[in-house]
Structure 1
Amino acid sequence: MNANWARRSGREDRLAKRAAGPVVNPCPPGQRGGAYKPLSPEELEQIFDTALRLLETLGMGEVPDRLRADLMKAGAVEGERDRLRFPRKMVERAIADAAKTFVLHGRDESRSIEVGGDRVYFGTGGAAVQTLDIDTGLYRPSTLADLHDFTRLQDTLANVSWFTRCCVATDVEDSFDLDLNTAYALCRHTTKPTATSFTLAQHVTPIVEMLDIVAGGPGEFSKRPFKKAHISPVISPLRYGEDAVDVVYECIRHNIPMSCITAAQAGATAPATLAGFLAQSLAETLASLVMVNAIQPGFPMVFSNWPLVVDLRTGAFSGGSGETAVLNAASAQLSNWLGLPSGVACSMTDAKAIDAQYGMEKGITSFAAAMAGGNLIYESSGMTASLLGASFEAFVLDDEMHSHTYRALRGIEVTEDNLGFDAICEAVLGSGHFLGGTHTFAAMERDYFYPSLADRNQPRTWTEMGAKDAWTMARERAKSVLETHHPAYLTEEQDRAIRAKFKVLI
């Protein structure tokens, strides 16, 4: 009787634990990548060597005067047609001097992440000008209110490790108002690490003044920056963009970490061959690295080499292709091989609806980038319609997809206990199955991820529960969050101080 009671009591305890869910997330962000290597060691060397030859032979065009002076001091030499050439040793020195890891701070320190090594984190990016309306299911111009809502929604999603504005507020015409209100929305609605962009260099200082209010006083933001900048200082093929270069100087002055993004397009602004594309794109991202380290050696920069693909039949951007998957995986492999904090792009589906095309394209591109070890995987949440659109439902679905990817990255732990010799013997000589066994329950809590959106019910149960598809499930979840999650991450005093000094539009 006592033995039966003990078994029953143990079963009840196990069922209670199961109902409560895993004590520890079995697949949190920051899993280790790098198992997928699309390039051989010899191919890595060939691509790198070609990139160095391009910088040494062609160099960079349209170099702004201030940057020209700094690059010349760092070892650049004059080339033909007013171009500036980078000797091989100069580039190698920049790689050696570059920051290999650094912390992306959240305002909540528990949400900070370390970038570099082989840790993988999914986050956001993009500048969608359209939003998939959560009520109509149709696209409309993105608004500032949408940005606030997207920020609130992602604040609840565990696998968005940092948040970059995913849409452009098309209802804000003035570029400074747009930059400031974008930064404000991110401060108001999340304490994760965030990222934004600056249209012009003169926008940086006043926005830092606003960030100082959030951080606790003048100069405080720069001591522990919780926002990084997305900048594209190189325009393909192989030239600098003056406005973006000016922003780089201002961000370094204010100690704002940056992602220097190269976004060439195969067959348009870079070679159509994948190897040629990688060589040029690597050269261009190295030109950003050389620039940053010529200004301030070791300044934190994400080596954001984002290979983009166009459909060569039409010229349309193709974000969900197999070529996109392998190119971004190869980019991550190249960056990690150089020991640099890597940034790549994925999940840029061309699908407009939340449908089979959407799932297939997001799945193959995000999984490839993660398996290759991309440290920061941009565009990975919420983006649709070849980056023209952003979707609330997509954010929710992508978050669950990333958990599956992290679980795959975690791999298989082979230990004496996990091999289960004793458990196998007990099952074979006893009940003949593993259901309800201690070994099984331990693995259930520790080793498995259980989705909350993906439906694993039998067809009859699914029908009885309303026969809901993934789009419907995600819409319900997103609406619930938007109705209930209204975080107050700015104090009333901070908000008043910001609004007294700046034009806050919401």
Structure 2
Amino acid sequence: MAAGGRRTGGRREKLAQRSAPPANPCPPGQIGGRYAPLSAPEIEAIYQTALRLLSELGMGEVPERLARDLIAAGAVVRGDGRLSFPASLVEDAIARAAKTFVLHGRNPERSIEVGGERVHFGTGGAAVQTLDIETGRYRPSTLRDLHDFTRLQDTLANVSWFTRCCVATDVPDVFALDVNTAYALIRHTTKPVATAFTLAGHVDPIVDMLDIAAGGQGMFARRPFLKAHISPVISPMRFGEDAVDVVYACIAHNIPLSCITAAQSGATAPATLAGFLAQSLAETLASLVMVHAIRPGHPMVFSNWPLVIDLRTGSFAGGGGEISVLNAASAQISNWLGLPSGVAASMTDAKAIDAQYGAEKGLTALAAALAGGNLIYESAGMTASLLGVSFEGFVLDDEMNGNIYRILRGIEVNDDTLGFEAICATVRGEGHFLGAAQTYAAMERDYLYPSLADRDPPITWHENGAPDIWGVARNRARSILAEHHPAYLSRDQDRAIRGMFDILAP
């Protein structure tokens, strides 16, 4: 040591530490649940109302096959033809439901566990328009877009799974659409993936494709890396036959389900927030009872997605305080029931990457995460009230999600972090904390550093051309798309799939 107790050694190590990329101090899977918009008595009141709806009103338009299975499980046919679910049946379904399960990635290191208190951001959506990265204008989404979005998100650490985010409007045949959508997912990512099946008859052949990717016949069902997004309940309080048929086909192949209720306030559900939550909960519980009647304990994400419409115009409103608190409350109720929760966020109404975009994304995503939503859908790239999707939005939302994980991680309080000795040593020594060992340790452990958000002083920002975040994100997305061309199917696998299906991949 030099005079005065200053360290002279270790400069090389410090410089190397500064230049090294910082580790991620807050990876996906942080603990949520600190935000509780509902009190315990309020949750109980909503739950009891949902049970009354299922028992006294029941479900309508129940397909014959499902009706037989539900009656065998304990449902009762009412005089008006609707099917009543006694509270004992609903509670049995809750008790026997899968409380946690693994969403497998084809790369096991990318698998995630669903349920408990852990929060994961992922994607969703069926956008029919893409915000063109070159022109900045919307155009119909294409199959090429889907391939490019899949490649792009494959690089994003804070997107835990990928659901197809857009519909290839240039593939009009519904079977070809389902096949080519699934192909894009398995070709360009090894994360857990999800898609929708238009018809039940599409499930078997697509599973043949997934078996090829998994390594042989029957291998996919042993470790399913794709889940199905299905809406078997149509609000208010009735089943949809085609979607129910898809449920049966998926369960036969051990495909995990995301049974999504997507009622809209004032249209297909009450405008009052409490009434909305009661009906939406009843409908999602009806999906759970359906799965229970077919195969008790089959993996199902309890996807109760409250959606809001602007009552002045009737248009869907993806951003705002109401949809934020409703999805947070939905996550809270699902977690109170002990069920793996799925909610939606980041469904901004903004068309451009602007202040409205950032505000609506931030408040909806943060509310859902703080409330403990296990899987938060729509959380990357979606714009224009789910009608649009953006490449720049994907990279921006990934950074936002990382910051939300940092908020969830909270503050660790212990002798080391309180730093009594370090404070005393600094006050008696150099008088600042720059360069201290504790500072370097905290730099890597406690801080998340943005790669897109600008923290430069104004003069530096001007000298750099006064860039805006849309342009910065556009350049990042362009760079990824130019450089990242994964092909996670071997030549033999790809040849086998192309021999069975009409693959239209660009």
TM-score (norm 1): 0.99
The answer to whether structure 1 residue 413 and structure 2 residue 425 are counterparts is no
The equivalent residue for 2:254 is 255
1:265-323: per-residue Cα shift (whole Å, max 9, x none)?
Answer: 00000000000000000000000000001100000000000000000000010001110
The equivalent residue for 1:441 is 440
The equivalent residue for 1:152 is 151
Hey, what's the Cα distance between the residues in 2 that align with 1:117 and 1:187? 28
1:154-202: per-residue Cα shift (whole Å, max 9, x none)?
Answer: 0000011000000000000000000000000000000000000000000
The equivalent residue for 1:16 is 16
Q: Could you tell me whether the CA contact under 8 Å between 1:58 and 1:85 is conserved in 2? A: yes
The answer to whether structure 1 residue 55 and structure 2 residue 54 are counterparts is yes
Hey, what's the Cα distance between the residues in 1 that align with 2:296 and 2:376? 25
The equivalent residue for 1:72 is 71
The equivalent residue for 1:450 is 449
1:416-454: per-residue Cα shift (whole Å, max 9, x none)?
Answer: 100000011011112222111111111111100000000
The answer to whether structure 1 residue 480 and structure 2 residue 479 are counterparts is yes
The equivalent residue for 2:403 is 404
Q: Could you tell me whether the CA contact under 8 Å between 1:120 and 1:373 is conserved in 2? A: yes
Hey, what's the Cα distance between the residues in 2 that align with 1:444 and 1:388? 40
Hey, what's the Cα distance between the residues in 1 that align with 2:382 and 2:497? 30
SS at match of 1:302: strand
The equivalent residue for 1:207 is 206
Hey, what's the Cα distance between the residues in 1 that align with 2:318 and 2:158? 21
Hey, what's the Cα distance between the residues in 2 that align with 1:411 and 1:78? 50
Hey, what's the Cα distance between the residues in 2 that align with 1:360 and 1:141? 26
| Residue 15 of structure 1: how far off its partner (Å) | 2.4
Sort the Cα spacing of 1:13 and 1:67 in 2 relative to 1 into closer, same or farther, 3 A: same
SS at match of 2:169: coil
Amino acid in structure 1 at the alignment position of 2:445: R
Amino acid in structure 2 at the alignment position of 1:327: L
The equivalent residue for 2:135 is 136
SS at match of 2:24: coil
Hey, what's the Cα distance between the residues in 1 that align with 2:31 and 2:18? 27
Hey, what's the Cα distance between the residues in 1 that align with 2:219 and 2:312? 52
| Residue 7 of structure 1: how far off its partner (Å) | 3.3
Hey, what's the Cα distance between the residues in 1 that align with 2:223 and 2:337? 27
Q: Could you tell me whether the CA contact under 8 Å between 1:33 and 1:120 is conserved in 2? A: yes
Hey, what's the Cα distance between the residues in 2 that align with 1:163 and 1:468? 30
Hey, what's the Cα distance between the residues in 1 that align with 2:9 and 2:431? 23
Amino acid in structure 1 at the alignment position of 2:176: D
SS at match of 1:310: strand
Amino acid in structure 1 at the alignment position of 2:71: M
SS at match of 1:505: coil
The equivalent residue for 1:368 is 367
Amino acid in structure 2 at the alignment position of 1:59: G
Hey, what's the Cα distance between the residues in 2 that align with 1:167 and 1:4? 64
Q: Could you tell me whether the CA contact under 8 Å between 1:21 and 1:445 is conserved in 2? A: no
The answer to whether structure 1 residue 241 and structure 2 residue 240 are counterparts is yes
Hey, what's the Cα distance between the residues in 2 that align with 1:109 and 1:151? 18
Structure 1 spans left out of the alignment, 5+ residues: none
1:446-500: per-residue Cα shift (whole Å, max 9, x none)?
Answer: 1000000000000000111111100000000000000010012000100000001
SS at match of 1:266: coil
The equivalent residue for 1:307 is 306
The equivalent residue for 1:471 is 470
Runs of 4+ in 1 over 6 A off after TM superposition: 1-6
TM-score (norm 2): 0.99
Equivalences for residues 69-468 of structure 1 within 5 A: 69-468=68-467
Hey, what's the Cα distance between the residues in 1 that align with 2:288 and 2:79? 22
More divergent stretch after superposition (73-82 vs 139-148): 73-82
Hey, what's the Cα distance between the residues in 2 that align with 1:454 and 1:213? 42
Aligned positions, number = 505
1:199-253: per-residue Cα shift (whole Å, max 9, x none)?
Answer: 0000000000011111111111111100000000000000000000000000000
Q: Could you tell me whether the CA contact under 8 Å between 2:2 and 2:8 is conserved in 1? A: no
The equivalent residue for 1:30 is 29
Hey, what's the Cα distance between the residues in 1 that align with 2:494 and 2:444? 43
Task: Give the CA RMSD over aligned residues.
Answer: 1.2
Hey, what's the Cα distance between the residues in 1 that align with 2:407 and 2:46? 29
1:346-395: per-residue Cα shift (whole Å, max 9, x none)?
Answer: 00000000000000000000000000000000000000000000000000
| Residue 5 of structure 1: how far off its partner (Å) | 13
SS at match of 1:303: strand
Hey, what's the Cα distance between the residues in 2 that align with 1:47 and 1:459? 51
Hey, what's the Cα distance between the residues in 2 that align with 1:50 and 1:19? 58
SS at match of 1:270: coil
Hey, what's the Cα distance between the residues in 2 that align with 1:81 and 1:156? 53
Q: Could you tell me whether the CA contact under 8 Å between 1:18 and 1:445 is conserved in 2? A: no
SS at match of 2:259: strand
Hey, what's the Cα distance between the residues in 2 that align with 1:9 and 1:214? 54
SS at match of 2:70: helix
| Residue 81 of structure 1: how far off its partner (Å) | 2.4
SS at match of 1:82: coil
Hey, what's the Cα distance between the residues in 2 that align with 1:196 and 1:317? 22
Amino acid in structure 2 at the alignment position of 1:396: V
More divergent stretch after superposition (6-15 vs 295-304): 6-15
Hey, what's the Cα distance between the residues in 2 that align with 1:173 and 1:152? 23
The answer to whether structure 1 residue 7 and structure 2 residue 2 are counterparts is no
SS at match of 1:327: helix
Hey, what's the Cα distance between the residues in 2 that align with 1:329 and 1:14? 43
Hey, what's the Cα distance between the residues in 2 that align with 1:375 and 1:11? 44
Sort the Cα spacing of 1:344 and 1:93 in 2 relative to 1 into closer, same or farther, 3 A: same
Hey, what's the Cα distance between the residues in 2 that align with 1:4 and 1:190? 56
Q: Could you tell me whether the CA contact under 8 Å between 2:292 and 2:298 is conserved in 1? A: yes
| Residue 4 of structure 1: how far off its partner (Å) | 10
SS at match of 2:145: helix
Amino acid in structure 1 at the alignment position of 2:406: R
Identity %: 74
Hey, what's the Cα distance between the residues in 1 that align with 2:91 and 2:289? 9
| Residue 79 of structure 1: how far off its partner (Å) | 1.3
Q: Could you tell me whether the CA contact under 8 Å between 1:59 and 1:83 is conserved in 2? A: yes
Hey, what's the Cα distance between the residues in 1 that align with 2:447 and 2:354? 26
Hey, what's the Cα distance between the residues in 2 that align with 1:426 and 1:183? 60
Hey, what's the Cα distance between the residues in 1 that align with 2:329 and 2:262? 15
